[in-house]
Structure 1
Amino acid sequence: MTPFPVLHELAEVELQAAVLDGECYRLADAYVPIGVAPSTPVRAAAAVGTRSPRLVAALASAAWVWHALPAPPSRPEFLVDIRARWRPPAAQRMHITESVLRPGDVVRYGAAGVTSPLRTALDLARFREAFGDEERAIVRALAEIGGFGLAEAVSAMERGRHLHGKVEARRRLRAALSPS
Structure 2
Amino acid sequence: MTPRLPPVLSSIDLPLAELQCAALDGELFALDQCFCPIDEFDTIHLRARALGVVLDARIIAEQMTAAWVWGAALNPPPRHQLCVAIGARTRPHPSLNAVLREVVITDDDIDTVSGVSVTSRLRTVLDLVRFSEPFGPRQEAAVRVLITEGKLNFKQCVDSLTARRNLPQKRIALARLAALESPAPLASAS
Q: Smaller-chain TM-score range? A: 0.7 to 0.9
Give the TM-score, by structure 2 length.
0.82
Q: Percent sequence identity over matched residues?
A: 38
Aligned Cα RMSD in Å?
2.1
Q: What's the secondary structure of 2:19's corresponding residue? A: helix
Pair 1:13-2:17 in alignment: yes
Aligned residues: 177
Shift of 1:75: 1.4
Distance 1:54 1:126, change over 3 A: same
Displacement of 1:11 after TM fit? 2.2
Counterpart secondary structure, 1:104: helix
Q: Which has the larger radius of gyration?
A: 2
Q: When the two structures are superposed, what TM-score results if normalisation uses the length of structure 1? A: 0.86
- Stretches of structure 1 that go unaligned for 5 or more consecutive residues are none
Counterpart of 2:159, as a letter, is: S
Matched, 1:117 2:100: no
1:161 aligns with 2:165: yes
C-alpha distance 46-92 of structure 1, shift in aligned 2 (>3 A): closer
Pairing of 1:48-59 with structure 2 (within 5 A): 48-59=52-63
SS at match of 2:108: coil
Quick one: which of 103, 124, 131 aligns to 1:99? 103
Q: CA deviation at 1:89?
A: 5.9
Distance 2:95 2:139 in 1: 29
Aligned 8 A contact 1:150 1:178 in 2: no
Distance in 2 between residues matched to 1:91 and 1:107, nearest whole Å:
24
> Given the alignment, which residue of 168, 171, 175 partners 1:171?
175
Which letter does structure 1 place at the counterpart of 2:166? H
